[in-house]
Amino acid sequence: MLNNYKTLMQIHYNFSNLTKLILITLVFSFEIYSQSSSISGAKILFKEWIATEKLQSKESSDWEIEKESISDLSTLLQEELATLKANLEELEKENNAGEEERIKLNDENEALKNAILPLSDSLKKIESNILRISKSFPDPLNDDLSSFLARISKANKEENTSSISQRLQAVVGALVKIDKFNSSIAFDEKLLPTDEGEKKVLVLYFGLGIAYYTDEKGNKAGYLLPGSEGWTEHEKPGYGPAILEAISFYKKTAQKQATFVELPFRTN
């Protein structure tokens, strides 16, 4: 009986110790689990902190680069603004100078117009005189003056739109050619009326004063004098050979050395 009791007590003791051991194991396991969960959470937080630090570092680096770019752009824009201001100031100076020049030119133009008015009246008289006396010019001169006479005729009309300078050029050009013809000798051929019809004659003009004519054989000869409606014929048949000789000297076709030739002379 006593042995059974001891056995039971031993079993109870062992069971109690086993229970304690199980409880200790459970508590220890719970502690280990708790600590393991805390470590895992700490690792996750640490990783998130590292990622946040990296992100902040990248954003800070990007901002520094962007800030530097913005600073460079601001400097460039300020330089461009300064250049634009300088250009505007220069342009304003040029505009002011241009406006002053325009006013000056306008004043000069008005003064020129006032000075031209008397010249315009004088030109009109000269144009009229040239057109009037051109009717008495010989054919070679009128042919040479044709373009100038056309311009003068147009300028002399009431509806004339030619400028003073254009009119002056035409008048001066015509006067130069008239003066040149009048101070030189000119040769021409023309048809003169005869009893048998028109006959070709050779004509030698001595300026605008007198001209001598003859046919190729020296039979029909004489001289021409200028008149208000053209050149009038004066027959001098006996001077045919002398006029032919003078023409040969002029054309340098004479067979002998140049010498004096006697010709009739008269003026109107």
For the sheet containing 185-194, what is the strand order?
185-194, 197-206, 210-214, 221-227, 230-235
pLDDT bin (cut points 50, 70, 90) of residue 176 is very high
pLDDT bin (cut points 50, 70, 90) of residue 267 is low
Burial class of residue 189 (count of CB atoms within 10 Å of its CB; 0-12, 13-18, 19+): exposed
Report the percentage of the chain scoring pLDDT > 70: 75
Whole-number Cα distances in Å, 245 to 216, 236, 248: 11, 15, 5
Number of C-beta neighbours around residue 153 at 10 A: 15
What confidence score (pLDDT) does residue 11 get? 47
pLDDT bin (cut points 50, 70, 90) of residue 263 is confident
6-60 pLDDT tens trace = 444 454 445 455 555 555 554 455 454 445 455 666 667 667 767 776 766 766 6
Whole-number Cα distances in Å, 45 to 34, 51, 52, 88, 228: 17, 10, 10, 62, 128
Identify the three-state secondary structure at position 152: helix
Secondary structure (DSSP) of 86-122: HHHHHHHHHHHHHHHHHHHHHHHHHHHHHHHHHHHHH
Number of C-beta neighbours around residue 164 at 10 A: 16
Q: If phi over 0 gives left and psi between -120 and 50 gives alpha, with beta otherwise, what is residue 197?
A: left
Positive or negative: CA dihedral 236, 215, 213, 183 = negative
pTM value is 0.54
What confidence score (pLDDT) does residue 87 get? 87
87-144 pLDDT tens trace = 888 888 888 877 888 888 888 887 777 776 777 788 888 989 999 888 889 989 999 9
